[in-house]
Structure 1
Amino acid sequence: MDKFTKYLLTGLICMVALAQFVQIVTRYLLQVPLMGLEEVMLYPTVWLYILGAVNASREDTHIRANVLEIAINTPRGHTILAIVGEIISLVVGIWLTTWAWDYTLYAIRVWKETPTLYLPTFYSEVAILGGMVLMMIYTALHLVRHINDLRTGGATK
């Protein structure tokens, strides 16, 4: 799964960079803008952003401001703090996932299209729900890992 994620994110970022390069060359050097390229770039850009957040959740490398870690000196205290943080993340994330579900139902019902190429925007909008579900799965897995660390006395990151 790690290899697939790595190649997918690399492919998406290359696609976005190449499209930007083509846009710059055609618009500013050749003075012939490609109409609709921004609309096509919407899909890989949104998916790259969302899957990047999912990847950070999978790797447990989100930026955190754990000020309490400074005051807590024991590994057990750090594990308990991590468990509390994961529970809060899970509660808020599940709440946001329900909003993402409602938004996905709305996107299906309305079925918006891009203004130039008439591409359905649903395929970029559904990324929010997919990303939230995956992030909640990884958050739950990290919570289980921290609980097991607390039981066994193992160290956490």
Structure 2
Amino acid sequence: MLALVEKIKNSPLWRGLIRFQQVLMVLTSVFVVLIMCFEVLLRYVFKSDLFGIEEIVVIAAFWLYLIGSSYGVYDKSHVKADIIPQLLTLRAQAFLSVLVRLTMTVLCVVFSWWAVDMVLYSIEWMPRTTGLRIPIFISQVSILVGYILMSFYSLVYFLEDLGKFLSFGKEDKKGAFTS
């Protein structure tokens, strides 16, 4: 199982997804900052307004937040409370990590499924923003992509932690379990 996880982590797909996320996060961050600066300049210096600019910023922010969230799952830098594992034995920490990863994977898959339904509904009925009439599904696809990526990373890390738990005590009894 651990060999499969290592093969996935060393695959071009894994590296490509990470690169895609990094590029998208940088581009959307820069875009949001530039648009907000442009809007401030227009509004407070030139006493003008650009109709519908908020709609564009919200779409970019959706992509930024959801891709950033999935990158946080990949990087294992998402918010977590980890005081309880410090009180447990190494084997109990390993089991808890498997349980947490399983729960996270199941929830991400469920949210991905709901996101598919949401996007399909939006494509079918084609609701649009009020100002620029931008199709709503453009921002909703970010939810779908974000949760699919979170599901993928969660599944890989679940398999990794499960493999470590199942081999716990067989190889290195000295080291702490890391998740």
* TM-score for both structures, normalised by structure 2: 0.80
Given that residues 57 and 138 in structure 1 are in contact (C-alpha distance below 8 angstroms), is that contact kept between their aligned partners in structure 2? Answer: yes
| Partner-residue secondary structure (3-state), 2:119 | helix
Overall identity of the aligned pairs, in %? 24
Corresponding residue for residue 178 of structure 2: 156
Give me the whole-angstrom Cα distance separating, in 1, the residues matched to 2:162 and 2:106: 16
Alignment of 1:111 onto 2:122: no
Q: Does 1:80 align with 2:95?
A: yes
Does 1:25 pair with 2:25? no
Residue 87 of structure 2 corresponds to 71
Q: Is the 8 A contact 2:115 2:140 kept in 1?
A: no
Structure 2 partner of 1:6: 22
Counterpart of 1:156 in structure 2: which amino acid?
Answer: T
The superposition leaves residues 45-93 of structure 1 with CA deviations (integer Å, 9 ceiling, x where unpaired) of: 110010000000111111111342132132x322211100011112222
Matched residue, 2:7: none
In 2: Cα distance, 1:120 partner to 1:140 partner: 32
* 2:107 corresponds to: 92
Pick closer, same or farther for the CA change 1:32–1:44 going to 2, 3 Å: same
Q: Pick which of 38-47 and 14-23 moved more.
A: 38-47
Change (3 A) 1:130 1:116: same
For 1:141, the equivalent position in structure 2 comes to: 156
- AA at the equivalent of 1:58: Y
Q: Can you list the C-alpha shifts for 1:20-41, whole angstroms capped at 9, x where unaligned?
A: 0000110111101111111122
Change beyond 3 A, Cα 1:130–1:7:
closer
| Partner in structure 2 of residue 125 of structure 1 | 140
Task: List gaps (5 residues or longer) in structure 1.
Answer: none
Matched, 1:49 2:65: yes
- CA drift of 1:117 comes to 1.6
1:14 CA displacement: 0.6
Equivalent of 1:34 in 46, 50, 54:
50
Give TM-score, length-normalised by structure 1.
0.90
Secondary structure of 2:123's aligned partner: helix
Structure 1 residue identity aligned to 2:50: L
What's the offset of the Cα at 1:8? Answer: 2.1
